[in-house]
Amino acid sequence: MFIPAILTTVLGVVVIYSSSPTLAIQQAVFALFGFGLFYFLRNLNYRYLTNLIKPAYFVTLALLVVVFLLGAETRGSLRWIPLGVFNLQPSEFAKPVLILALAYFWSKNYPSWTNIAKSLGIVSPVAVLIFKQPDLGTTITIIFIWIVMFLCSNVSWLKVMVIALIGGLVTPLGWFFLKSYQKERFMSFLSPTADPQGIGYNVIQSTIAVGSGEFSGRGLGHGTQSRLQFLPEFRTDFIFASIAEELGLLGTLIVLALYLVMFFFLFRIITHSGDKFGELIAVGVSAMLFIQIVINIGMNAGIMPITGITLPLLSYGGSSIITVLLSLGLASSVEKYGMKKKEIMNFSF
């Protein structure tokens, strides 16, 4: 897990450095702290964390409330708590906390209707607070984590179909709770050329950047879309488009290959875990990474609506990279302490 994680992180820092050495140094510092947490958690038996889950959950809720009281507003959103040297984004750290909470809950409880309602009670307060910031991307991530972990809780297909039917009926109502700019992003996805200088601008510039890289790219620091700032947020939400433009198809294939290696190890942990708690931790981490990668790359390529969501280990952002490395550390702890004995022997060299 460590090797693909560090290679992906280094690639992200290099791409960021080509446009801003200062931000790259900051990202490197955050990454070092994140890898410190990765190493610490890998060498800590994940079962010892069970007593910390409830306090961590309520601290997370408290921080999400504090965001509305002390948070710094950026482009109409309240997501960060300014702490002087850096800004803390509680919604990012809510992801691993919820993964632990749901993993522990489903490892101890059968998926009856009562327990399904309780699991929703765990996720809903966090999701609502994040949605109100507003942060649709993280809200979708949290809901997806709940769905995947619920499906892996030995639930019957009848319950799954009932929940799917209810979700299908309720989801369209979410349109009425979206902000106007969120609705505009969805409309721009359907028809970006209808307003190329307005709501369709980001989609058009992103697809231009992805396509112009061709096979080998324009070279680091030579991407016209990003360097001339036609491409918005090219270090965060649209870093994949920036990589595609400067490193071409070859660079994007390297990114996808690194992610696939991570998923290979996560899948191995899931299938060979010795207990349900460890298995569900790996499931939750996989779900978190999967939905963020799919949404981010999808919106960069113009095949999904634009949603503010980071690309794991590549996008600039301290809270984001630390959260991902922390989560991978949890999964690595399961690999070290929770695998079946015969599998541990098979993986030794």
Model confidence over 81-94: pLDDT tens digits?
Answer: 888 778 889 999 99
Task: Report the pLDDT value the prediction gives residue 343, as an integer from 0 to 100.
Answer: 47
Q: Packing angle between helix 318-337 and helix 21-42, nearest 10 degrees? A: 20
DSSP-derived secondary structure for 44-101? S-GGGGHHHHHHHHHHHHHHHHHHHHHPEEETTEEEEEE-SSSEE-HHHHHHHHHHHH
Per the model's pLDDT, the better-predicted residue between 241 and 340 turns out to be 241
**Average pLDDT estimate for 15-41:** 93
pLDDT given for residue 78 in this prediction:
85
Name the strands in the sheet holding 72-74, side by side, starting at the edge strand that comes first in the sequence: 72-74, 77-82, 87-88
User: pTM of the predicted model, to two decimals?
Assistant: 0.92
CA-closest candidate to residue 241, choices 262, 261, 255, 259: 255
Q: Is the pLDDT confidence value at 72 over 90?
A: no
**Mind listing the pLDDT tens digit for each residue in 89-118?**
999 999 999 999 999 999 999 999 999 999
Rounded CA separation 192/200 (Å) = 4
Three-class SS state of 349: coil
Q: Looking at residue 194, what is its pLDDT?
A: 63
How far apart CA 183 and CA 171 sit, in angstroms, is 14
Judge whether residue 345 has pLDDT over 50: no
122 pLDDT more than 60 = yes
Torsion of CA 57, 125, 103, 105, to 10 degrees: 90
pLDDT band at 185 (very low <50, low <70, confident <90, very high): confident
* Alpha carbon separation from 66 to 38, 90, 97, 98, 108 (Å, rounded): 27, 9, 17, 18, 31
Task: Report residue 65's pLDDT band, with 50, 70 and 90 as the boundaries.
Answer: very high
User: Does the structure show a pLDDT above 90 at 28?
Assistant: yes
Model confidence band, residue 153 (pLDDT cutoffs 50, 70, 90): very high
Task: Please give the share of the chain, as a percent, with pLDDT higher than 70.
Answer: 94
* 187-222 per-position pLDDT tens digit: 777 677 666 676 777 788 888 888 888 888 888 877
Tally Cβ neighbours within 10 Å of residue 261: 16
Q: What is the sign of the dihedral through the CA atoms of 262, 264, 269 and 271?
A: positive
Q: Which of 84-88, 223-227, 315-319 has the lowest mean pLDDT?
A: 223-227
HEC string for 252-275: HHHHHHHHHHHHHHHHHHHHHECC
Q: Is the pLDDT of residue 347 over 50?
A: no
- pLDDT band per the 50, 70, 90 thresholds, residue 328: very high
pLDDT at 236 over 80: yes
The one-letter code for the residue type at 304 is M
Asked if pLDDT for residue 254 goes beyond 80, the answer is yes
Out of 81-85, 89-93, 243-247, 279-283, least confident range: 81-85
Under 8 Å between Cβ of 46 and 278:
yes
Show Cβ contacts of residue 19 under 8 Å, excluding neighbours closer than 6 positions. 221, 226, 227, 234, 235
- Cα–Cα distance for residue pair 127/147, rounded to 1 Å: 13
The residue type at 27? Q
pLDDT more than 90, % of the chain? 63
Name the residue with higher pLDDT: 286 or 73.
286
For the chain, the average pLDDT equals 89
- Residues 6+ away with beta carbon under 8 Å from 150: 106, 111, 116, 119, 163
Most distant CA atoms of the chain, gap in Å: 60
What pLDDT, on a 0 to 100 scale, did the predictor assign at position 134? 86
